[in-house]
Amino acid sequence: MRVLGIDPGLTRCGVGVVEGVPGRPGTLIDYHVVRSEPDEDIALRLLHLDRSLAELVARHQPESVAVERVFSQHNARTVMGTAQASAVAILAGSRAGLPVQTYTPSEVKAAVTGSGTADKAQVTAMVTRLLKLDAPPKPADAADAIAIAICHIWRGGTRARIQAAAIAAARRSSR
């Protein structure tokens, strides 16, 4: 399964492409950080993010998209920008006809490190170890996006199989 993981943000939006199967180390295909200037008009920033994500989806041909779910922050302006970037990310996957799944930061941390309270350094270290990378992906936004993709492969793939099995069982019992 090839997954495009997205750590949404307006100034820095991390994107990681990972290929793998549940329970096994994956392979890093690529990673990017889509950047925009904070003083630029919001409409132009969102348009730039939309075009960049559409191009990355077209280039990498993922089977699904995983996006970090927006979490509550004390700074309303920051959370609004993150929520807007998240909506653009979800739309990029949906527009391409791909399944899109969101994960909370603690779900991602728990999947990758075993602890839902891990810090950024621990997430980056585990991403580096799990994918057998020569160096940690930088900046942290890219490492977070890669972790989101890994989380989806390990948790989302299993979740999708359970859902498919339940649908198949329901169809068999209704015959």
* Catalytic positions: 7, 68, 141
State the CB neighbour count (10 A cutoff) for residue 106. 14
In angstroms, the CA 45 to CA 101 distance is 23
* C-alpha distances out from residue 37 to 46, 99, 122, 158, 172, Å: 11, 30, 28, 38, 54
Q: How many CB atoms lie within 10 A of CB 103?
A: 21
| Residue pair 142/35 in contact by the 8 Å Cβ criterion | no
